[in-house]
Amino acid sequence: MSILITGGAGFIGSNFVLDWFTQHDEPVINLDKLTYAGNLQNLVALQDNSNHLFVKGDISDYDLILDLLNKHQIRAIVNFAAESHVDRSIHGPEDFIQTNIVGSFRLLEATRNYWNDLSKTDQEAFRFLHVSTDEVYGSLSDTDPAFSETNRYEPSSPYSASKAASDHLVRAYHLTYNLPMLTTNCSNNYGPYHFPEKLIPLVIHNALNGKPLPIYGDGQQIRDWLYVKDHCSGIRRVLEAGRIGETYNIGGWNEMSNLDVVNTLCSILDEESPRSDGKSYSEQITFVTDRPGHDRRYAIDARKLEQELGWRPVETFDTGIRKTVRWYLDNQDWVNNITSGAYLEWVDKQYSE
């Protein structure tokens, strides 16, 4: 039997697939639509691995999904496939509705029909793990406790609203059809293979190219930062031993303001790749108009995952961010190959103010 990974050429999905093969020899069917953020270069280390089968396709394609499930006797699905960037959802929400809601629905429908035909033993062993975000919970004040699994959903953007909808669909398919579902809600990920539209890779890329380092508003928005490989290990643990029908929050226990993150990156780059003029990269920091509906603070309470399944992140922010900067410095060819004209036009539009 095999597992099906959707969105397995994206940032988190590709890290999960790469890490999977350091822990298991079970075959992986890797389905990805290869939108702008999906990149087969992320998976080049697996090009000679016969247990890795890449399929270009969309989770909205019911017939394709059902065929893959039957053909490869899938025993678990991990669903990473999603449009995931808040700024893009503000400019063009329809893609988020189509992928995150309609796509999730069709993936669930194909799974339901496949699961119904399994033997009782295989039904009991089957798992569907849906990967979601802390952004479905909305925004916290400086004094609010961190998000737990029982927090009310209060999404603020088309992105988070579409992910909230997919979470509700997953829960409904468990309660209505008895499908063995699991959901994880993670905090902000960072690490290798991160498309440089998000804060950390964007700042590294712009710093090295002598460009402004754009920070929304006053830069005091707070996020909980989770190293991507820690996230992947948390997902593996939930897939292995999580209680059916449950939600598990995965966080890094690293709350930092955006401005502090950028200053930390500048300090590391000053050490690892100094500017030719001897000045600090922090001189490139530029404050830009805040985006609409910008949530002030996210924070994850991951105690349930620790208490039930014994998981905690391995990396601190200091160790994880240094590994991340080093990876980008050592993989400039990867960065240069994906920073196309279309990407540069989008960044210019987004941060033009």
- CA 53 – CA 56 distance, rounded (Å): 10
DSSP structural state of residue 30: E
* 248 classed as catalytic: no
Residues 6+ apart with CB under 8 A from 260: none
Q: Which of 292, 334, 310 is nearest to 240 (CA)?
A: 310
- CA 57 – CA 225 distance, rounded (Å): 31
Q: Which of 58, 87, 134, 197 is catalytic?
A: 134
The answer to whether 159 and 128 are in contact (CB under 8 A) is no
* 26 classed as catalytic: no
- CA 340 – CA 352 distance, rounded (Å): 18
* 135 classed as catalytic: yes
- CA 130 – CA 15 distance, rounded (Å): 16
DSSP structural state of residue 157: S
The answer to whether 337 and 205 are in contact (CB under 8 A) is no
Q: Which of 75, 175, 170 is nearest to 125 (CA)?
A: 75
Question: Number of helices (H) and strands (E), helices first, in the chain?
Answer: 14, 12
Q: Which of 114, 137, 159, 193 is catalytic?
A: 159
- CA 52 – CA 25 distance, rounded (Å): 10
Q: Which of 135, 197, 295, 301 is catalytic?
A: 135
Residues 6+ apart with CB under 8 A from 246: 149, 182, 183
Altogether, the residues listed in the chain come to a count of: 353
Helix, strand, coil % over all residues of the chain, rounded to 5: 50, 15, 35
Residues recognised as catalytic: 134-135, 159
